[in-house]
Structure 1
Amino acid sequence: MDPWIIPLCFRAEHQAWDTRPMVVSIAWATFVTLLWMGNLLSHKIAYGMHREVDLQEEVIVITGGTSGLGLLIAEVYGMRGATVAVLDTKPLESTEARGITYYQCDVSDKGQVSRVASEIERDVRIQLGTPTVLINNAAIVVGKKLLDMSVDEVDRSLKTNLLSHFYTVKTFLPGMINNETGGTIVTVSSVIGHLGAAQLSDYAAAKAGVTALHKSLAAELKECPEIKTILVTPGQLSTPLFHGVRTPNSFIAPIVEPIDVAKEIIKAIDLGLSDHIGMPLYARWVDWYNVLPVGLQKIARSVSGIDRGMKTFIGRKATESKEKDGSPI
């Protein structure tokens, strides 16, 4: 039942149908319904029909899945009976309890990606076949100004945050295309890819590239309607990746909890849909920023504080060292 029906029914108990308050309420309810139908139609035109998803038959590959958003998704699917393969450089504890298989892999190294793909197919091909869901979630943050970064740090960042997507898609997509039930590719990008930010030049460039890659790939896959693509562009996530960063404006850009993003990703995968997930609200409208006059863009950056956010950055390495020392994080 649509949420507007209940208040409309209550108003109908005390108002005649031809009174002004009732007419306004009906008009508003009609408007909301038309917007909902228009959004539904727009989604169907943009993304097509859904694919059938049976978790018992799905093989889900998650890069960067030993912490944060990736770990949440892996644990949910592991507990629900799907076959989950986590690729990460950081070890995963208690994999049996979570129903997850861990593969040590640096996704910035195409050789390691190819090797692990062979291991995954060897482990699951007999029972289920090739991977059907790829979630490209792995990321690193250097958190330095461009001139303070070494060339090696730039290379490492771009390989992990951008080139790894090419490696994994090239590796796993052919199997999805050959699979009768198709597959789903999830690309975890960021609003920073649209906006850029001080001390995030490498990360912003990579995420802009990831978003462009996703859109280009989706266009190429129109000939394969059973392959679904999901683009995720969240704001600042409350994960170890951005440990220490304090959002300078919690009203305009509140910190996003990974569990909320995970719910939306899992929902889209389960329904077999292509989608664009942007959280919080401003992330869905961030493209309009580039339409503003450059003067207003500068004012918006100053008000939002986007270029001050990384001044308190600590990062994942600090949290890992505290874990080793037994200190609270």
Structure 2
Amino acid sequence: MVWTTLITNTAYLSGLLTLDYSLKKHNSKYPLVALYTDTFPPEGHAALEARGIPKQRIEYLLPKVGKDYSNDPRFYDCWSKLAPFSLVEYERVVQLDSDMMALQNMDELMEMELDAPEVGGKGKRVFAAGHACVCNPLKKKHYPADWVPENCAFTSQHNTPDEAQTTGPPPDTSPLGFMNGGLQVVNPSSTVYQLILDYLSSDAAIDLDFADQSLLSDLFKNRWVPLPYIYNALKTLRWEGVHPQIWRDDKVKNMHYILAPKPWNEMNEKGEFIGKDETHGWTASLAIRDIGEQTKPSTIALQDKSTMHYETSFLSELNAQVDTLYSVQIPNIRTTSNGNFRTQVPETPPVPRENLVTAATVGSFWFGYNNPELFQIGVFSTPYCSTVNLTLIQETTMASSLTFVISLADWLVNAVFEPLITAPLYLISLYFQQFSLAQTLIYDKETSVLGMLFGLGLIRRINGFLSDRILNNWNSDAYDWTKEVVVVTGGSSGIGELVTQDLCRRGISVAIVDIVKPKYEIGKTAQFFQCDLSKHADIADTCANIRNAMGHPTILLNNAGIACGKPLLDTEYHEYHAMFDINTIAHFYLVKNFLPNMIQNNHGHIITICSMASFVTIPLNVSYSQAKSSALAFHEGLSQEIRHIYGAKKVRTSIFHPSWIDTPMTKFLTTAKNWNEPTLKANEVADSIVKCILEGRSKRVFLPGSYAWAATIKGWPSWVQEALRNRGASMVRALQRGGYAGEEE
């Protein structure tokens, strides 16, 4: 007999650790087994192993006919919660959601009477579960219209609260007869499981609004045993206006923290509760009361060559997953992403936490110039970077000289083709055309140099005017910055940090979305939301948290990204996959969550930070360029659909293509003896992004502006294109000789 819980990603890892601890705390005789799918990452396995939590692989279940769960993406994972019916090696399985916490011993569930496996799902006690609350207290529009208090089984117990502590309403009490899948008591049976699989393979699955719990409620209608609410105490039952009439704090045996936010999202680094829901504070109280009981040194193996050493307690594991570990040992690292990328780690003392460097920028090469992207990685330390902050690098190098030259060239081009400058000069030259200098400049009125520059400048102005009007559908929109909410992914450091701080200084609300917590003090108008952008369930929960805490976002800055500077054959599958998960697919999930409200209000702005690598691909940069090209295509298609499919012509879309950016992350490159490439300053890029946000206009931005011609490269003769790529390849080889791109010292 076992407790089981499903885990598919690290978003619920804190909850699982809490659940395991709470069961042991209340002296359960039975172990908790983590049922994991192939989507569960190595760092998650390492955390389970460190705590001694047994685990078992299961298949990721999905119905044959897919249903759109974009409003609640968590339901895609929920199908796999049906797996306990197949675990015939156990006499009894009690499936628990990972966002639960035991408050009392409930081993009696292992002994309650259910149909024997040989009954094959034909009896009246196929499984046991608690009722779902169908009151829809958050008034979610996509929930069924009949999910109202009068149809809720718990409403029938308002007049008999004492009975509600020991008895669940019969399944047919409510016209819906709907169970909640958070806790299921099961006698595993191959026959019953086959019935479930057959139902999953039928066309009926398309009508299952709530995944596994809809299936079980329909397939075994009124043939399940109702448990009293105390075993699956949905936190919303306690809320005023829901079912406080039956709730008794001292009777609850198992809390279920349904909906967002989760308790671990409302605790600070000290383990202190900072949220509003009192029941979330019970989790913090459990941690504080038992601090030290679980404290012991541990070693977690993340990958074949990477090791993470830490000393932790229940509190630190609860408060976050990997990034709260007290110290990390990853010297001599070249590329990493929270243990996902291969590293080379000798046995040396751990790096102190205060010496760790978090996410900043990474680049790709273009025509010998590197093109950066903010990138979402884990804490790390290198021989080149240690105890550095966001102070801009001041070293005088060849790169800074080239940067100055390019900036000067940009200024000269803008001046030469500025009609407000050339027009007066042209008129003056006409007046003084009798002088030799004027005659040199002017051969006749039609072909004068100044006249030509004025004409070209005027055409340039008209071109810019038309581009702006076309991109913005010939309309304008007003922004109320006291009400707008800006989401900045990768906002904990680098360009994202600078953008966030600038917006906060202006009093604008900002939701910082990142896998690591900001090291800087965030402004009063900002909130941090921890999220692994490679996992859609994590994104869905985070988006819900943002909406609950700050309202619907009106501006989305897709800024986070990763890069992996490896040859194709040296790149691991998970590295390649992560490149697209974060650099492109995360854009889709975020847009899927936030765009509908923008369309409904015909107001919003989606900004994509792309790269010059969208246009040219060179060695060691294939996966990054692929992903950025995909992000560019996504931006262009999204712009068209917003305009033509959804008709939301005041919803803006902008894209940035920066070149190489000078940040602490790139210091080991920009200070290398072979580095001679022009480099942008981080504040220049951030200022340009903030300006775009404040103007509320769709834009296509190249940084520096003189690189805009890069967009035309694909139409050039092949020999010219290859010459440009070959120059980039030559620079890669030069940097390798100088100790970059994976070369060991």
Contact (CA 8 Å) 2:654, 2:698: kept in 1 or not?
Answer: yes
Contact (CA 8 Å) 2:422, 2:454: kept in 1 or not?
Answer: no
Three-state SS of the structure 2 residue aligned to 1:202 is helix
Three-state SS of the structure 1 residue aligned to 2:431 is coil
Which 5+ residue runs of structure 2 have no aligned equivalent?
1-414
Establish whether residue 285 from structure 1 lines up as the match of residue 720 from structure 2. Answer: no
- Per-residue CA distance 1:41-75 (angstroms, 9 max, x = gap): 23212432232122211100010111111111111
1:256 aligned residue (680, 683, 689): 680
Instruction: Return the structure number with greater relative CO, CA threshold 8 A, min gap 6.
Output: 1
1:118 aligned residue (515, 533, 544): 544
Establish whether residue 145 from structure 1 lines up as the match of residue 570 from structure 2. Answer: no
2:557 aligned residue (116, 135, 144): 135
Aligned length: 307
1:271 aligned residue (695, 698, 709): 695
The whole-number CA distance in structure 1 between the counterparts of 2:638 and 2:553 is: 18
Q: What's 2:463 paired with?
A: 38
CA apart distance, 1:77: 0.5
The whole-number CA distance in structure 1 between the counterparts of 2:637 and 2:489 is: 21
TM-score, normalization: structure 2? Answer: 0.38
CA apart distance, 1:243: 4.9
- Per-residue CA distance 1:16-48 (angstroms, 9 max, x = gap): 266544753355334423321232123212432
Moved more, 76-85 or 279-288: 279-288
Q: What's 2:250 paired with?
A: none
Contact (CA 8 Å) 2:610, 2:656: kept in 1 or not?
Answer: yes
Three-state SS of the structure 1 residue aligned to 2:607 is strand
CA apart distance, 1:12: 6.1
- The share of aligned pairs that are identical, in percent, is 26
Three-state SS of the structure 1 residue aligned to 2:703 is coil
CA apart distance, 1:114: 1.1
- What amino acid does structure 1 have at the position aligned with 2:685? V
- What amino acid does structure 2 have at the position aligned with 1:284? A
- Per-residue CA distance 1:253-295 (angstroms, 9 max, x = gap): 6212222222222222212111101112453111222222222
Q: What's 1:109 paired with?
A: 535
1:302 aligned residue (726, 731, 739): 726
Moved more, 88-97 or 73-82: 88-97
Q: What's 2:581 paired with?
A: 159
Q: What's 2:642 paired with?
A: 221
1:175 aligned residue (576, 597, 611): 597
The whole-number CA distance in structure 1 between the counterparts of 2:459 and 2:626 is: 38
The whole-number CA distance in structure 1 between the counterparts of 2:516 and 2:735 is: 24
The whole-number CA distance in structure 1 between the counterparts of 2:726 and 2:711 is: 18
- Per-residue CA distance 1:187-244 (angstroms, 9 max, x = gap): 1111112111211221111101000000010110112111100011111222355453
TM-score, normalization: structure 1? Answer: 0.83
Moved more, 291-300 or 140-149: 291-300
Three-state SS of the structure 1 residue aligned to 2:668 is coil
Distance 1:36 1:284, change over 3 A: same
CA apart distance, 1:94: 4.3
The whole-number CA distance in structure 1 between the counterparts of 2:504 and 2:661 is: 23
- What amino acid does structure 2 have at the position aligned with 1:60? V
Q: What's 1:85 paired with?
A: 511
Distance 1:217 1:10, change over 3 A: closer
The whole-number CA distance in structure 2 between the counterparts of 1:157 and 1:34 is: 40
Q: What's 1:319 paired with?
A: none
Which 5+ residue runs of structure 1 have no aligned equivalent?
316-329
The whole-number CA distance in structure 2 between the counterparts of 1:243 and 1:140 is: 17
Contact (CA 8 Å) 1:244, 1:314: kept in 2 or not?
Answer: no
- What amino acid does structure 2 have at the position aligned with 1:107? L
2:605 aligned residue (174, 180, 184): 184
Three-state SS of the structure 2 residue aligned to 1:90 is coil
The whole-number CA distance in structure 2 between the counterparts of 1:309 and 1:87 is: 36
Contact (CA 8 Å) 1:83, 1:99: kept in 2 or not?
Answer: yes
CA apart distance, 1:116: 1.2
Three-state SS of the structure 2 residue aligned to 1:233 is strand
1:194 aligned residue (605, 610, 615): 615
Distance 1:13 1:144, change over 3 A: closer
Distance 1:31 1:294, change over 3 A: closer
- What amino acid does structure 1 have at the position aligned with 2:541? R
The whole-number CA distance in structure 1 between the counterparts of 2:539 and 2:465 is: 38
Three-state SS of the structure 2 residue aligned to 1:254 is coil
Contact (CA 8 Å) 2:566, 2:741: kept in 1 or not?
Answer: no
The whole-number CA distance in structure 2 between the counterparts of 1:241 and 1:157 is: 18
- What amino acid does structure 2 have at the position aligned with 1:38? N
The whole-number CA distance in structure 2 between the counterparts of 1:264 and 1:171 is: 26
Distance 1:120 1:27, change over 3 A: same
CA apart distance, 1:119: 1.3
- Per-residue CA distance 1:103-158 (angstroms, 9 max, x = gap): 11111111111111111111123xxxx10000001111222111112212222222
Contact (CA 8 Å) 1:197, 1:306: kept in 2 or not?
Answer: no
The whole-number CA distance in structure 1 between the counterparts of 2:520 and 2:500 is: 13
The whole-number CA distance in structure 2 between the counterparts of 1:58 and 1:103 is: 17
Distance 1:309 1:244, change over 3 A: farther
